[in-house]
Amino acid sequence: MSNQKKEQPKAVVLLSGGLDSATCCAQALVDGFSVTAISFDYGQRHQRELTAAEDIAQTLGITDHHVVEINLAQWGGSSLTSEAMSVPTDGLKSDEIPSTYVPGRNTVFIAIALSLAEAQGATAIYLGINAIDYSGYPDCRPEYLSAFQHLAKLSSKAGLEGHAPDLVAPLVMDSKADIVRRALKLGVPIEKTWSCYQGESLPCGVCDACRIRDQALISVGRPDLATAIGQQKSQSA
């Protein structure tokens, strides 16, 4: 019997700095992968999330962390990348995709992650996309992920050789409350994550991301980890 230690498989994790991506990153580690994190400076108004991504990577012991600059704000088209548009604060509407949708963002991000994964010989790419408590984004759905998996097999040397990286979205069908419970179980530093869409020093508490996050944290009994506005709501309820 050989005493040679089996090499740990590699995974690339898209780490935005938010709750979902941090939980996804922790899940990849628990699943036994050596993780390379990748974050994107894409001209987003909430640059604060990149600081959060660095803090999360350090806390989780991830030393291989790439921050890629790609300026999607050049052409705008989203309230996250254009100062001419305001981030909505009046709640989600079921019949429309909100202005916080960034055209092509996930498609660009996953394509770059595929390049990194193939270069490093990674067998998986972990994505924090979610199709339940999300803002109606078309690139957060299981059918989108399935289509991109097919593309990954067609578009790369690794794919032609039969070992394209698997696109893994462990949170895709979880509610936000389920994600919070998973994060707590995995020891995710929730207090270091950043979800707010506004480019301020503190979370606004009223944008879609803050609302969904706060509601979930309060529902699982952790209003202490919500924004100040979320805590006030829980105390007055």
Binding site residue list: 15-25, 196, 204, 207, 210
Phi, psi of 140 (to 5 degrees): -120, 15
Annotated binding site for ATP: 15-25
Q: Which residues pair with 66 in a beta bridge?
A: 38
Which residue has tokens 């979205």? 169
Distance CA 171, CA 186 (A): 13
In angstroms, rounded to a whole number, what is the distance separating the alpha carbons of residues 165 and 146? 13
E strands, the chain, in order:
10-14, 34-41, 65-69, 124-126, 166-168
Binding site for Zn(2+): residue ranges? 196, 204, 207, 210
Structure tokens at 137: 């984004």
